[in-house]
Amino acid sequence: MSLIAATIRALTNARALDVSVVDAAGNQIVNFDGGPTPPPNATLTTVPASATSVPLLASNANRRQVFIHNDSNADLKIAFAATASDTAYTVLIPRNGQWESSLNGYTGAISGIWFAAVGSARITEVTN
């Protein structure tokens, strides 16, 4: 999102009003140089498919976003937890499908389990 500094003038008496622009945390934004700086790091990981729960990503407080491609002909269930199972999971990624997290979302451990141990998960973790 890009913000633009502006002076607002009241139509009735044309006097200038002071305006402050703040971010979601209430901090005043004083630099309007084109928006936030993009995250500088992306780490690519490949995790072999497994019919038992395996860790996909460890907790990472610096995580900004995650992209997971299920490079398998079996569905992948991922859990925002240390262990995933057929009945306890957060997202099902269909075979040869992909999923991306929301920006600045979950930073905890992510695990996965496939219906069959064929293929792998191709993961990109974007961090600060």
Question: Domain locations in the chain?
Answer: 41-127
pLDDT number for residue 7: 45
Average pLDDT per block of 10 residues along the chain, 128 residues long: 47 60 74 65 97 98 96 98 97 97 94 96 95
Residue-level pLDDT at 26:
77
The pLDDT of residue 82 is 97
- Which one of 3.40.190.10, 1.10.3720.10, 2.60.120.770, 3.30.70.141 gives the CATH number of domain 41-127? 2.60.120.770
Q: Are 122 and 48 in contact (CB under 8 A)?
A: no
| pLDDT for 78 | 98
pLDDT of 25: 78
pLDDT of residue 22: 75
Structure tokens at 2: 């890009």
Residues 6+ apart with CB under 8 A from 16: 7, 8, 9
Per-residue pLDDT of 15-35, as tens digits, reads: 655 667 777 777 776 666 666
Measured CA to CA, the distance from residue 80 to residue 36 in angstroms comes to 27
pLDDT of residue 112: 98
